[in-house]
Every structure is written in structure tokens, then in C-alpha cells.
Chain A
Amino acid sequence: MATAPATHEEHDLGHHEQSFWEKYVFSTDHKVIAMQYMFTGMAMALIGGFFAYAFRMQLAYPGMEVPGWGLVTPNDYNQLVTNHGAIMIFWVAMPVLIAAMGNYLIPLMLGCDDMVFPKLNRLSYQIFLLSAVVLLSSFFVSGGGFGGAWTMYPPLSTKAEYSLTQLGSTIFVVAVALEFVAFLLGGINFITTAMNSRAPGMKLYDVPMVVWMIVVASILFMASVGPLIAGAIMMLFDQNLGTAFFDPDRAGDPILWQHLFWFFGHPEVYVVLLPAMGIVAEIITTFSRKKLFAYRTILYTVFGTGVLSFTVWAHHQFVAGIDPRMAHVFTVTTLLISVPIAEMLFVYIATLYGGSIEYSTPMLWALAFLVEFLIGGVTGIYLGASGGDIYMHDTYFVLAHFHYTFFPIAIIGTYAGVTYWFPKMFGRHMNEFWGKVHFWGTIIPFNGIFIPLFFLGAGGQHRRIADFTVYPELAQMQPWREFATVALLIMLAFQVIFLWNFFYSMFRGRKAEKNPWKANTLEWVAPSPPPHGNFPDGLPTVYRAPYEFSHPDHDEDYWPQNEPPAEQKA
């Protein structure tokens, strides 16, 4: 229709001379905003990783002067673990997996020139950046940062005499609330773009899986975060205006906060899981040169997971004194939700079955995701059952389980996505050798960190304690703690290789062509890197499903979505 002339116009606009500020800071282009999210997320990951380093050093060698931080006092320790958790989830996993990947991939994969609301997109990034600055500023107020755990349970978060930092805890809540607003706006943008702006010919079942998953994740976020936004307002009033919503001494109810928090908090797990699952789906189908097994089954499973994820939240509260009858209900729903997730893993394995698998770096990450996430999922079964949870709750077993789900999601999934789409993002290849070195140097120490924590947790080691050596029965397990810390140091050291590989390849890497992996989805039709407006040769039209690899009716083993059928060419 009107696309051709308009594209031309966009194309011309792309040639305007732009200042640095216009092009990289205040741009409304979805690719630039995606990069802004990604680099902000990477910077925050460095901070979160540094916090992990500091408190793990304290746990392994209590009372030592940690290089780069100094003595980790118990109060420091609480601030470090709290902010490590909050930063890694809200300021690393969310911006990189959903915002960066979503912003980059949704318009490209749907064959359009930008998000539907470019200015709203820019605004949501700016609010996100503001939230990050606000969070970091909490470390510089009197009393320091908030140390009452990222879940902000009252009364630790609401009463100054417990939090020891009234302003710090207020700033923490404000930062989280701002971050929610940013992702709410961004999510509505994603959903609307995916619903309305698909390329001509692209039916709902032709949408690439990663786009579906990011959109479903945005819907889950949107539908679950509301009560927590309301709760955050109530908490701010509790902190500053003298209300008592969550104060049992004054007829309030602290468990209400836990419900409001986990009603969001559990769907949030799937909010970050689904984009990672989508990235993995794209990678395994491309590198096994096989059609994604059971596309529709995956899709329905995703919807099922989404709905179920709203019914499991109270399994975080089994020991909080909740109604025991509800504990039964939530045990059943929690164990139920492992069914769709297991099904997705099986379907992915079925995609691999009989494929001609190429062990490139992204593929290694994708396969590692399946393996490591499986461990995370299986250990969750023990915790989902209320009986088992009463023993395990708030021990390092929970912590290790959590990291076996979130590390694959936030770190492995991100590395998979970044290494896979790097040629598209920057027009150059990353170094495969160093990529593989980094892969093994991350995966092996990762297991080295967290497998000991399972044992420690099962041995009764409780969370949120700065020094275990004061407990005789826990002190004897000190070698395991040192082992985990050493593994962490090795893993952190290997991240330097990634950073070097990333920035070196960005400028000096081997040039990438349009479609280096010979994949089918629309982002590979655009030049690498795509210019402003994405498709200089006109926006593509879609003729087939996204995963037509090794199709019997086609000579090549891949069949791009936009390639017209043979009879039209003839």
C-alpha cells in the first residue's frame, strides 16, 4: 500500500547529519534504544557482580579486608546481598532480556521500521535510566543503601529502627516503582507493535517464537505488577506518612505485602524466563537446521504457563504463617506448572533430535541453558511442596535453586542472544575461539559455585547471615564456602574475556554479511547492522512460517520468510 514511498522518505531521513546526542542519546530508533538498555544493563551487571564478589569473599574469609571494598560489616553485607538481588533482576535481567532483546528484535522480526510509539519507547528508557540512578544514589545517603532483602518485607523495610536507613529504604522502593513504570510503558509498546505492525502476510502462527515469548512476558508483567505498584505506594506511605498498612501492632498486616509482592514476584520469574526460552528456540532451530518441533504446542504451552504462573505465588510464603489450606492449593498449582516447562524442554530436545547440529558459540549457550535450567527446575520440585519447603525454606538450597534458574535465564540466555545476534547488531562477528573459551570458563565455575550451595543448604545453612563460622555446626563446612567463592572469582575473571571479545569484535571483528547463520526470520533480510528504518529495500512481505529449514520442496536448506514462492518467481 503506502509503504513504498514512505520507506523512501524514511530512508532519506536516515541520511540526515545527526549530532552524537541525536544519534545515540536522544534517539527514538528502536535499535539505539535497545543498545542503551543493553549497555545500561551490562554496567549494572558489573555492579551486581562486584557486590557478589564482595559478599562471597566475606562468607569464605570472614572479617577480611576485601580488595576494592574493605571490611564487609554485617550491615554492609545486608546491603550488598539486597542490592545484588534487586540489581540482577530488575536492572540486568529485565532490561537486557526483555527491553534490549525486545526492542531490537520485535520490529526487525516483524518486518517493520520501528516500534509503534518511538517517543514512548525513548521515554521508557529514560525512566529506566532514572530508576537505575535513583537506586545507586541510595548508597550515598545517611545510613547507606537498603539492606532488608530485595523482597522488601515489612517491618524490615517500613520501620527505620529495623532498616537503619529510612531514606535508603524509601529510595529503594521509589527506584523499583520507577523501574516498573518504565517496563509498563515499554511492555505496552511491545504488545501493541506485535499486535498491529506485523509485515503483510505474517499471520499469528508466522511470528517468530522469541517475539511471541517477549510479548507474552510483557503481558504477564503488565497484568501482575499492578498490585505491587499499589503495594509500593502503600509502603511509601508506611515509611513516610505514618500509615500502618503493613504494621501488625497498628492493625495492619505484613503478610498482605508478601502477597502483593509475590503475586507479581512469581509471574516475574516467567517474565524473564520466557524471553530466554524464545532466544534458545531461535538458536537451536537455526543450528540444528531443523524446523522448530511443534511450534503450536510451544505456543499453547506458553499461554498455559502464563495463566498458571498467576496461581502459584504463595509457595514463597509457606513458612510465613499462611492458611495451611491455601498451602495445599499452592503446592498443587506449583507442581502443576513444572508440567508445561518440562514439556517445552522436551519439545526443544525433539527439535535437536536428528538435526545436523553445529556447535557454534550461541548453540553452546543455548544447549547449556537447557541443561542448567533443568537442574534449576528439578530442584524446585522439592521447594514447591509445602512439606519439603518447611525444611528447605530460607536455606542456601533455595538460593542455589534460584540461581540455577536465574543464572541460565539472565546470564546464559543473554550470552546466547548476544552471541547469536551480534553480527546483526554490529555487522561483525565475535571471535569463535574466545567465545568458546568464555563459554567453558563461565559454565564450569558456575556449577562450581552453586552445587556446593545445595549441600550447604541441605546441611542447614541459613540465608542472610554474614559470618557462618560463629555457628559450630556450620563452621565445619567452611571449605565448601571457600570453594564456591574461588569458583566465583574464576567465573568473574572469565567475563573479562567476554568484554574484550565483545568490544574488540564490535570494531575489529570479521565483517558479517546479511545472513551469516542462514536463518529464516526477517531480521536477517535487513543489512548488518540495519540502518534507521531497518529495510532500505522496502519493508518485507511474508510468505511462510519462520522455521522452514531443510524443506523438501526447496533446494537450499533454509527458506527465508520473505522469499516469494517459486511459482511467483517463475
Chain B
Amino acid sequence: MSGTPIATTRSAAGMPTGKLAVWWLIGSEIVIFGGVLASYIMHRLAHGGWSEEAAHTNTWIGALNTMVLLTSSLSAVLAHQAAEKGDGKKASKLLWATIVGAVTFMIVKAFEWTEEITHGYTIASSTFWSFYYTAAGIHASHVLAGAICMYYVAKSAAKGEHLHRVENVGLYWHFVDVVWIFLFPLLYIAK
């Protein structure tokens, strides 16, 4: 029953409405991750003993996943570039590459967690492991959500529709990448 309202097409702030909303969304996500990471950091700084538990995390797998996310960010930004040039087909393909990155990330994560859980490091083992699984879990749910959004954007971009959405979903994806850039040293490197 409703077409796009005129309200959506206005741009008094000088930025397309969709992109504006994504930036506000990113702001709200900063405080969600900020809450859990701030809680984690203050605990970590107060507990010298946590470094012994953190020693059981696998830096190499963490680095591999960082690599995967950085690369998927590259394909997302290349998709944005293609969409700007009006090449919906290419943008769609590059978005699919990003989705493959997201899926790879999740698969690596699945193997990593299985390994850790079978060695007895579960979410209830200690507060360090609780934070480890909670922070990475919230992040992983964002990876999943981003992949689902990209699936729909890639589908419409292939038909040359809603090309501006390629940038918007890309912005979100880069944000998810940035969160992982901080999670990686916090959970894996700091030992």
C-alpha cells in the first residue's frame, strides 16, 4: 500500500537517509560493544591471573579470522566502488565474496570453539571464558546479521536495484570488522 514516502527522499542534513540511519545504528552498536568491552577490560586489568587463562586461546586462529574479515572488508568496499559506477552485477559478485568471508569466519569460529569446549574451556569455566564467549558471541551474531543483510542487498544489486544499499551494508560490515580488530588483541594477543 505504501510507496516510498516523500520524507525518505528528502535530505535536509545533506546525506541520503539510509546512510544517515546506518551511521546512527553504528553509534548505537558502539555503546553495546563498548559496554561489554569496558566491563571486560576493567576485569582484565584487575585480574593478573587472567593472563594464564588467556594463554589457552589460539592466536593463530584469531589472526586467521582477522585476515578473513579484513579481506571481506576489502571486497565490501570494492562492491561499493562498483555500485557507485552503476555496475550492479559486479557489486553483487563482490558482495557474495564478502558473504563467503562471513561464512568462512563463522566456520573457523565453530572449529575453534569446538576445540576449546572439548578441552574444557566452556562459557562457565571462569569469568575470563565467560567474557571470551560473550564478547565474541555478540560479535558473531553481528557477522551473521551482516551476512543476511548482504544476501538481500546482493540479490537486488544483481538486478541493478537499490544500489545505494551496497554502501550502507558495507558501512555496517566495516564496523563489524573494526570491532573484531579490537577484539583480536583483547582476547587473543594479550596474554
Contacts and interface: CB of A to CB of B under 8 A. Distances in A.
B35 A196 contact: no
A256 B42 CA distance: 10
A107 B39 CA distance: 39
Contacts of A113: 5-7
Dominant SS among interface residues on chain A: helix
Interface residues of A, number: 59
Nearest to A241: B123
Chain B, interface size category, equals: 35 or more
- Pick the most buried of B2, B7, B33, B127: most chain A CB atoms within 10 A of its CB: B7
Interface in B13-50: 13, 15, 17, 20-21, 24-25, 27-36, 38-39, 43, 47
A198 B28 contact: no
Nearest to B24: A188
A436 to B, nearest CB: 38
Nearest to A107: B7
Nearest to A243: B130
B124 interface: yes
Nearest to B12: A198
B165 to A, nearest CB: 13
Interface string A180-213: 0000100011011101111000100000000000
Interface stretch (A218-226, A328-336, A447-455): A218-226
A10 B9 contact: no
Contact of A223 (B7, B10, B28, B43): B28
Interface in A252-273: 252-253, 256, 260, 263
B1 A197 contact: no
Contact of B127 (A107, A193, A252): A252
Contacts of A3: 6
Given A192-B17, A195-B13, A229 B7 contact: no
A192 B14 CA distance: 12
Contact of A196 (B12, B30, B36, B43): B12
Contacts of B47: 251
A198 B126 CA distance: 52
Contacts of A241: 123-124
B50 to A, nearest CB: 10
Interface of B: 1-3, 5-13, 15, 17, 20-21, 24-25, 27-36, 38-39, 43, 47, 123-124, 126-127, 130-131, 134, 138
Q: Which 8 A-B pairs have the closest CB atoms?
A: A226-B31, A227-B35, A230-B35, A242-B124, A114-B5, A112-B7, A226-B32, A230-B36
